[in-house]
Amino acid sequence: MALRFDSDRAYVTLNRPDKHNGLTINMLRDLVTAAHTIAGHKDVRAVILSGNGPSFSSGLDIAETTGDPLAVVRNFIPLPWRGTNTFQEACWAWRRLSVPVIAAVHGRCYGGGLQIALAADVRFATPDAEFSVMEAKHGLVPDMTGAATLSRLIGVDKALLLTMTADTVDAAYAERIGLVTEVTADPVAAAEKLAARIATRSPHAVAGAKQLFDRSWHASARRTFAIERATQLPLVLRLALSRSKRSAT
């Protein structure tokens, strides 16, 4: 995995191209470390996730991962202060960031790779990209936060359909059901263009919007209204203070 910073953006690239970026435990750990590193860079306004080589990611490298059962067990245990294990945090760490995370998808986007993409705020994909909730082919279920993101994005019925069949779907279908935000010939360019647009907005408002929708999406109306107030109040006070300072000068 590669991490680089360029101006106000962080680029995170899965970098095991000869294996279609099949995920290993070390790669998952690197993703967690990258997200936590980015969180410490306050000048970053957006993150772009992509894959080097022919695919975004073909999912978990089963042969590589199961070769060390003890490592699987160690990394399967969640840390109590964050409530996720290594497999889950490799995805959910991107939800925790206050800046927008944009996935640029091409080629295969299967299994764990799909769950990483789903944890992004926006997904751009090439027309020839392929998607699959592939775990059922190995007798497994999606357990890298996919249960939360799939049902939220496409509804429980479609999430169950994709999960139980493990079918591979094309980008047009993925866009139609909401799995993908937009199909485009150049996902990285589209991600960069969107990042530039968002960077013209208040970083506090952008962070607040991400937090607001993440915290309130499945909440009751009453709870949602409380979250709205709690998110908006510091923004209103910041705006009022800024205007007051300008008036004073």
Average pLDDT (163-192) is: 98
Is the separation of the CB atoms in 21 and 53 below 8 Å? yes
What is the reported pLDDT for 11? 98
9 phi/psi in degrees, rounded to 5: -125, 150
pLDDT at 171 over 70: yes
Residue 165: closest CA among 133, 197, 213:
133
Tens-digit pLDDT profile for residues 34-60: 999 999 999 999 999 999 999 999 999
pLDDT tens profile 126-137: 999 999 999 999
**Between 3.40.640.10, 3.90.226.10, 3.40.50.1970, 3.20.20.70, what CATH number should domain 2-198 receive?**
3.90.226.10
Among 25, 27, 9, CA closest to 17: 27
Tokens 């496409």 locate to 154
pLDDT digits (tens, 9 = 90+) for 136-149: 998 989 999 999 89
| Integer angstrom CA distances of residue 121 from 95, 124, 159, 242 | 8, 10, 18, 29
pLDDT band at 249 (very low <50, low <70, confident <90, very high): low
Closest C-alpha among 148, 119, 117, 115 to residue 133: 115
Interval 67-72 mean pLDDT: 88
Crossing angle between the packed helical segments 86-96 and 25-39, to the nearest 10 degrees = 20
**Mean pLDDT computed over every residue of the chain:** 93
pTM of the model: 0.91
As a dihedral over the C-alpha atoms of residue 85, residue 90, residue 96, residue 100, rounded to 10 degrees, the angle is -170
User: How is the beta sheet containing 168-170 ordered, strand by strand?
Assistant: 108-110, 130-132, 168-170
Is a pLDDT exceeding 70 seen at residue 15?
yes
User: Which of 21-25, 63-67, 94-98, 139-143 has the least mean pLDDT?
Assistant: 63-67
Read off the pLDDT of residues 187-239 as tens digits, 9 standing for 90 and up.
999 999 999 999 999 999 999 999 998 888 777 878 888 888 888 888 888 87
What's the start-to-end Cα distance of the chain, in Å?
49
